[in-house]
């Protein structure tokens, strides 16, 4: 799988990050879940880790 991803010029980590970002934005706009729920749903063990990633994604 890694070889195929490398041939496509991507990595598993970059795909995971992209999916997490897309889902985070979707869930936040939906407003049915708390930020803590969203962070754990996306696989972040700490809210602070999610917050740091979200700031990086949004440039804030």
Please state the pTM of the whole predicted model. 0.77
* Mean of pLDDT over the chain: 89
Between CA 59 and CA 19 the distance in angstroms is 17
Helix ranges restricted to H, the chain: 2-7, 12-30, 35-41, 47-58
The fold for domain 2-58 equals Arc Repressor Mutant, subunit A (1.10.10)
> Nearest 5 degrees, angle CA 40-CA 30-CA 38?
5
pLDDT in tens, 18-29: 899 999 999 999
Average pLDDT over residues 17-45: 92
Average pLDDT over residues 6-18: 86
The structural domains of the chain, with segments of one domain joined by +, span 2-58
- What's phi and psi for 46, nearest 5 deg? -130, 145
Q: What does the pLDDT read at residue 51?
A: 92
């Amino acid at each position: 799988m890694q070889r195929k991803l490398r041939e496509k010029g991507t990595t598993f980590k970059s795909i995971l990050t992209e999916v997490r970002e897309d889902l985070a934005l979707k869930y936040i706009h939906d407003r049915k879940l708390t930020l803590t729920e969203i962070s754990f749903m996306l696989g972040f063990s700490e809210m602070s880790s999610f917050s740091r990633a979200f700031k990086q994604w949004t440039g804030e």
